[in-house]
A and B are shown apart, each in its own frame.
Chain A
Amino acid sequence: MTNSQEAHKNRETASSMRRRLAGMMVSLDLVILLLVALTSGYSGADDPLVLVAIGDVYGLLAAGFLYLTLLITPLALAFPKLPAKETWFLARRGLGLSSLFFALPHALVSFFGPLGGFSGVPFLDPYTGWALALGLIGLIILAVLGATASDAAIHKFGHPRWKLLHRTVYAAGVLALVHLLLVGTHYGDPHSPWMFWSLAAVGFLVFLQAMRLDQWRARLFPKDRRFGPASLFAVFLLTWAWFWTTSPAAPESTGGVRWVTGHHGMALPAPGTPEAKP
């Protein structure tokens, strides 16, 4: 067998494996999606808080899969001996599709459920409105990437252009993060465990990407050290996030409802404070 034939065979095997992993993951996603919906205890349209929970679960799953999609390449570059590196690379398509798979029901359930659909838009508070707009842009990016996540699309666009298009996944990641920080009241309180662990996970990814950037710079400028300015900046950001999330809570904390102070610039009494009569 010639080298060209062998390379062709390897490409075919990788392509088949990628398709199989993607099919398997999307099928598992469907099972998880149905399990969440069927076990949520949802009983009718006048049960908005259950819909909030369902929408948030789908949203978190979408964010989690997007995070894994973004993590694989920098992780494999930072740890060249990562076990089953090739398989992880081939799983990226399935992970990205899984993110889209959960982002769609997240958007539909949250928008047409607790947010009241199009008729609810004029009444949205500013933070939720911004979060909605950014989330929608992120969803459109994911949908475009999902629609072009195939070997046929690579042939059609050509590999360089396809790769450039799929780099917008980083923009989707940033939009998803901002969306999460804006709309998830869990993330309104910097001292919540959700905020701490999410920032730790994002910080790890930022650090790996910074190392990647420094490696790229080091190839251009061989005298540069491996841990260059990007990594140092990432470490600075991580340290700041650490102090932010672990510093003592302010006494006027509003318990994570950020639009209360964000929009009106005033603090409300903490839960339990007796209310004055008008």
Chain B
Amino acid sequence: MKLRCLALFLVGWFWVTPVWGHVVLADGTIGVTMHVDPDDAPVSGKPSHFSLWFKDTTGHLDPARCQGTFTVALNDQAILSQPLFAQIDTGLISVHDVTFPRSGVYTVRINGAPRGLMTFQPFLLVFSVRVTGGEDGDQTADPGLLGWVADHGTTLGLGATAGVVILWWGLRPRRPRKKVP
């Protein structure tokens, strides 16, 4: 019984692995659904693929008339700046490949404004992207599982202790109730 419950706990823990999802950012009537490939978890030294799907609730956003940039910065120093809708035949989709030089928290700015006549609202979307260290050429390389365990040793130790106490509480043998005469 104890082994089975322990196995159940371990299976639950095994499932704790990051997977992917989407991020929605909005400025006024214009919003973007963003996904970063792979895993929504960029790694330094390896290309990350940003996919942005725009939506203007007024329906006026037109990539052909939009002048905008996709900028990535680290500590206020721009490392990359690309035209927002470089491929105008892809509708309201914008894709960008970024290779982050090293680990850190980068700031991504997506801004756009209409060329000429004001047909849609200018927008600015700013968010942070945490980049972990890759293996090659990065002095701040990801320390891996052992480093993660060392960083969170106290928390993990407390959690493991709590888990053992709960298992003991749940699986301890019960004394049969005394019969009431």
- How many residues of chain A get a CB closer than 8 Å to chain B's CBs? 69
Task: Answer yes or no: A23 CB below 8 A from chain B CBs.
Answer: yes
Asked whether, in the complex, the Cβ of A20 is within 8 Å of the Cβ of B170, the reply is yes
A259 pairs with B53, CB closer than 8 A: yes
Contact with B along A106-139 (1 / 0, CB 8 A): 0000100011100110111100100000000000
Interface hit among A41-49, A213-221, A234-242: A41-49
Cα of A44 to Cα of B32 in the assembled complex, Å: 20
Is the pair B57, A278 in contact by a Cβ cutoff of 8 Å? no
Please indicate the chain B residues that have their CB under 8 angstroms from the CB of A65 in the complex: 12
Q: Is B79 on the interface with A (CB-CB < 8 A)?
A: no
Contacts of A56 in B (CB 8 A): 18-21
Pick the interface stretch among A151-159, A162-170, A202-210, A267-275: A267-275
The verdict on A124 contacting B33 (CB below 8 Å), with A31-B162, A271-B97, A276-B87 known, is: yes
A140 to B10: give the CA distance in the assembly, Å: 28
Number of A-B contacts (CB under 8 A): 196
Q: How far is the CA of A273 from the CA of B19 in the complex (A)?
A: 25
Which residues of B approach A to under 8 Å, CB–CB?
A: 1, 4-5, 8-9, 11-13, 15-26, 31-33, 35-41, 47, 49, 51, 53, 55, 57, 82-83, 85-93, 95-97, 105, 126-130, 148, 152, 155-156, 159, 162-163, 166-167, 169-171
**Residues of A in contact with B (beta carbons under 8 Å apart):** 20-21, 23-25, 27-29, 31-32, 34-36, 38-39, 41, 43-44, 46-50, 52-53, 55-57, 60-61, 64-65, 68, 84, 87, 98, 110, 114-116, 119-120, 122-125, 128, 183-186, 194, 255-257, 259-260, 263-264, 266, 268-269, 271-273, 275-278
